[in-house]
Amino acid sequence: MLQAGSASSTPQTTKGTLKEKVNLKKDVPPQMPLSKVPEPVPARIPRPKISKYILGETVPQSPDEEAEIADRLTPLRSEMRTLRTYSNGRTVTFSRPAQPLKNALPRISLPTYGKSNNPVIFEDSTSSSSDSEGSYDTNEAGRAAQFELTPQLSEAIEILKKHFQKLDSVEPSLLDWATKHAKHEWLKTAARKTASAIQVEGFIDFLEAASNAVLKFIINLADPNENTALHYAISHGNFDVVSVLLDSRVCNLDRANKAGYTAVMLASLCDATDEVEAAVIHRLFQLGDVNAQAVQHGQTALMLAVSHGKINTTKLLIDCQADLNIQDEEGSTALMCAAEHGHKEIVKLLLLQQDIDASLSDCDSSTALSIAVENGHRDIGILIYAHLNHSCKQNQNQQKIESTS
């Protein structure tokens, strides 16, 4: 029974369980002394010890202490391998000394050539495009004047030499490594915008000393967009390197990139204002196929030159027997391209050639005359009209002579 005046240990209502505390036992004071075990102390995360990276205030008393302090300030060799120096937006790695190839294949970190599928960019851009999954750093400063053959490159050349001479069977994995490494070193040397002709010539000398097959194989290696070192040298306007590549006499001048353009077609887009540049381009036109047509649209080097108003390269192409009347997949000729773009001086130059046929029509039944008029180039239309009339009179006179004879 509950004594009078004592409080109930249970709530008076059922709702009281939601608000009131239920005391089932009385608070009994402890009869035994409290434990002497101290309360647990929260764990503390120790602060990093950075004293070894800071010069101590104490003055060393002996050479051993001085060496110990100096050692604290110097990174370990293992740390040096992971250090990176950031300069000009690119990473420079402290590489290990090259070791001779034994059992395992050395891992070659090939550069990326860019992720786009765009052809070589002809503009003098300060950015590295390609452009190139490609593309090598075209703004990289020039290196040493002389080319230096690294042990790994020498090993790769020897592997390729054995492969082409078929003296010993070469493992596919080893041949793949040698090809990738040689390709990386060759394009790094010859495909940069600031590539040195002396370095490229030195590289070629090493390849030629190995074998002509190795030279021909490496010099025609291309990036994922099928651009060779010759494509890059022409697009960068580095005609010293172009001249060295032509001197090798093993460059595939008629190889097209993924966009369908050959080295001759790329050269047709150059200004050729300098005498040296014009001489190199003229030599390229003589050695290559000036009448080759692009894979995608069937354009020739002459069509590209006249469309972009390159009168100097147009003269060089005509001098190298470029066909004036080839038609692309739309039926356009070089004269139609010049008339459409309003290049009056080039139209004059083309009309002076004996083999020009100004009466040809394209797939839309348009002629060079109608194209010039439709595009508002009245002066060019008059030139073509006068040429057609003159040619017609010449043909009539020729027929009269033949009929009377």
Query: Residue 251's CB: how many other CB atoms inside 10 A?
Result: 21
Residue with tokens 């005509």: 318
* CATH homologous superfamily, domain 104-124+144-252: Ankyrin repeat-containing domain (1.25.40.20)
Per residue in 366-400, pLDDT (tens digit) is: 999 999 999 999 999 999 999 999 877 666 666 66
Contact assessment for residue 281 and residue 264, using Cβ atoms and an 8 Å cutoff: no
What size, in residues, is the chain? 405
Q: What is the DSSP letter of 93?
A: E
What does pTM read for this prediction?
0.64
- Consecutive H or E run containing 85: strand 84-87
Digit-by-digit pLDDT tens for the chain (405 residues) are: 444 444 444 444 434 434 444 444 444 455 555 545 455 545 444 444 334 434 445 566 777 776 665 554 444 444 444 443 333 343 333 333 444 433 333 333 333 333 334 443 333 333 333 344 445 544 444 444 789 999 999 999 999 999 999 877 889 999 999 999 999 999 999 999 999 999 999 999 999 999 999 999 999 999 999 999 999 999 999 999 999 999 999 999 999 999 999 999 999 999 998 999 999 999 999 999 999 999 989 999 999 999 999 999 999 999 999 999 999 999 999 999 999 999 999 999 999 999 999 999 999 999 999 999 999 999 999 999 999 998 776 666 666 666 666
How far apart, in whole angstroms, are the C-alpha atoms of residue 307 and residue 311?
10
Contact assessment for residue 212 and residue 250, using Cβ atoms and an 8 Å cutoff: yes
DSSP conformation letters of 253-321:
TT---TTS--HHHHHTTS---SHHHHHHHHHHHHHS-TT---TTT---HHHHHHHTT-HHHHHHHHHTT
In the chain, where the domains are located: 104-124+144-252
Per residue in 97-107, pLDDT (tens digit) is: 444 433 333 33
